[in-house]
Amino acid sequence: MATPVILANISQTLMGLVDTLMVGRLGAESLAAVGVATLLFSALAMSLKHADVAAQTITARRVGEGRDREVGAVLTTALTVSFAVGTLLMLVGLLWPHALMSLVSQDGEVRHLGEQYLRYRYAGMLPLLAFFMTKAVFDGIGWTRTGMFVGIGMNVVNVGLNWVFIYGKFGLPAMGVGGAALASTVAAALAAVVILALILRPAVRERFGILTGSHFQKRLIRPFVDLGWPPAVQTLGNVVALLAFFFILGRVSTLAVATGNVVLRIAALSFMPGVGVSVALQTLVGQSLGRDDPKGARRSIYVGVALAVVVMGLFGGVFLAWPGSLMRLFSNSEDLIRAGMPILRVMGLVQVIDAVGLALSGAMRGAGATRPVMMVDILTGFVMLPPLTWLFSLTLGGGLLGAWWALLTWFTLYAVGMVVIFLRNDWEGIKV
């Protein structure tokens, strides 16, 4: 179950790396602008997207309980709620991109390029939400291959459109940073159309009650919101913490911001196995508890954590052994490569620890314990990361490397918190 999610997420990360590679050819300002603007987009759009945790968890419980025909109502509720909030957030990004960029960047060129990116990116918010909510329902059923194939297709289309829009191919004008955002928006719209067509197939519609009698149900709003708002707030807190992180890096230098963007893009590849295992555990734990089988849920957790540790540990070894070679894939600047090598090694050190945190967070979400997971992440990330970054990088003079030690502290404390939640055992009795 985890493998398709891992492959889909790795493909998405690889496409993100290709985005960075293509934009990187435009200069350090473009790299910095895309890195910061992506976080600003994530602060609103991807925070709301993480309400898909509720869609997946409730779907998994209903399937485990043998109530398949209620899945259609879950999907309809998820789409309705996410679209209602998503429309408001989309308008914020379309109408005030300058205000958003001004919050996090003092560089005029970076702000100008970031505004271009945000306008095109926010225009595709609703199709992106439709894709993720529908994918979450497929994942909750256990059909993770569907999301894998559609997600990989979306990412491949994104790369092709990047080449066309960024550099101006087939007679089109070269759009630069704005072209990268437009490519992502068009690719997300196509993915939404495809995945909705797949869930509307007659056999799927009949089994799960998709548009066959089920509809928006008010009684589902409360459990959906109860489960969905903590991961949404958690994601928002993470993004705000990272925005503050990049703001502090900007006080170090523009080179530090560009280097940080490249390293996080590379490191994101290593996070994907942990994320994939997390999604699989969310479904397996939810279905096991739906069958009243807490022992089965625990067996899944032990295996999932072990798998995440092994795979992410291998990535960590690569980061430690060949940091310079990885950095050279994304920049010809020797200054950027030299700055990135030590912090990429730091990312290698944290992989095994982060694997435990990622895997256990998915398991606890599948059990319905989304609030404790949120509280741990808000405390260790949103509350602690910015002051630690300021302390290590500016006050103590650690610069870029000091900021990365602050990031490692966040990941470590988060993993410890997930272990504590798991060992408390009260997650086994949560009703969804």
Does residue 431 fall inside a structural domain?
Answer: no
Question: What are the backbone angles phi and psi of residue 386, rounded to the nearest 5°?
Answer: -60, -50
> Would residue 430 count as lying in a domain?
no
Mean pLDDT for all residues in the chain: 87
Residue 247 has pLDDT above 90, yes or no: no
**Encoded tokens for 274:** 């942990």
Is the pLDDT confidence value at 216 over 70? no
Tell me what the mean pLDDT of segment 398-407 comes to: 90
User: Domain count of the chain?
Assistant: 1
What's the confidence (pLDDT) of residue 358?
94
- Cα 138 to Cα 80: distance, rounded to the nearest angstrom: 17
Q: Give the per-residue pLDDT at 200.
A: 92
432: in domain? no
Is 428 within the bounds of a domain?
no
- Mean pLDDT check: name the lowest of 18-32, 111-125, 226-240, 286-300: 18-32
Evaluate if residue 170 carries a pLDDT over 90. no
pLDDT of amino acid 108: 77
3-state SS, 208-246, equals HCCCCCCCCCHHHHHHHHHHHHHHHHHHHHHHHHHHHHH
Q: Which pTM does this prediction carry?
A: 0.78
Percentages helix, strand, coil for the chain, rounded to the nearest 5? Answer: 85, 0, 15
User: Regarding predicted confidence, which is higher, 394 or 334?
Assistant: 394
DSSP 173: P
Structure tokens of 173? 């004008």
Q: What is the largest distance, in Å, between two alpha-carbon atoms of the chain?
A: 63
pLDDT tens digits, one per residue of 38-94: 778 877 787 788 888 899 999 999 999 998 888 999 999 889 889 998 999 899 888
| Predicted local distance difference test score (pLDDT) of residue 16 | 59
Q: Which residues contact 432 (CB under 8 A, 6 or more apart)?
A: 57, 58, 61, 223, 227, 286, 368
- The answer, yes or no, to whether residue 356 has pLDDT greater than 80, is yes
The average pLDDT across 391-395 equals 92
CA dist., res. 415 & res. 410, Å (int):
9
Instruction: Indicate whether 15 pLDDT > 70.
Output: no
The whole-number pLDDT of residue 136 equals: 92
Question: Would the pLDDT of 176 be above 90?
Answer: no
Does any domain span residue 429?
no
Residue-level pLDDT at 365: 92
pLDDT greater than 80 at residue 6: no
Domain containing 395 equals: 2-423
- When mean pLDDT is compared across 10-14, 74-78, 130-134, 306-310, the lowest value belongs to 10-14
Under the banding of pLDDT at 50, 70 and 90, the label for residue 296 is very high
Is residue 239 a part of any domain in this protein? yes
Q: Determine the pLDDT at residue 378.
A: 94
233 located within any domain = yes
| pLDDT score of 260 more than 90 | no
pLDDT score of 19 = 67
Given this model, what pLDDT does residue 214 score? 58
Q: What pLDDT sits at residue 201? A: 93
Looking at residue 415, its amino acid is: A
pLDDT, residue 236, reads: 82
Res 328 pLDDT > 90: no
In the predicted model, what is the mean pLDDT of residues 181-189? 90
Of residues 106 and 354, more confidence is placed in 354
Residue 407 within any structural domain of the chain: yes
pLDDT of residue 175: 85
pLDDT over 70 percentage in the chain: 95
CA–CA gap between residue 82 and residue 361 (Å, rounded)? 22
Is the pLDDT at 191 greater than 90? The verdict is yes
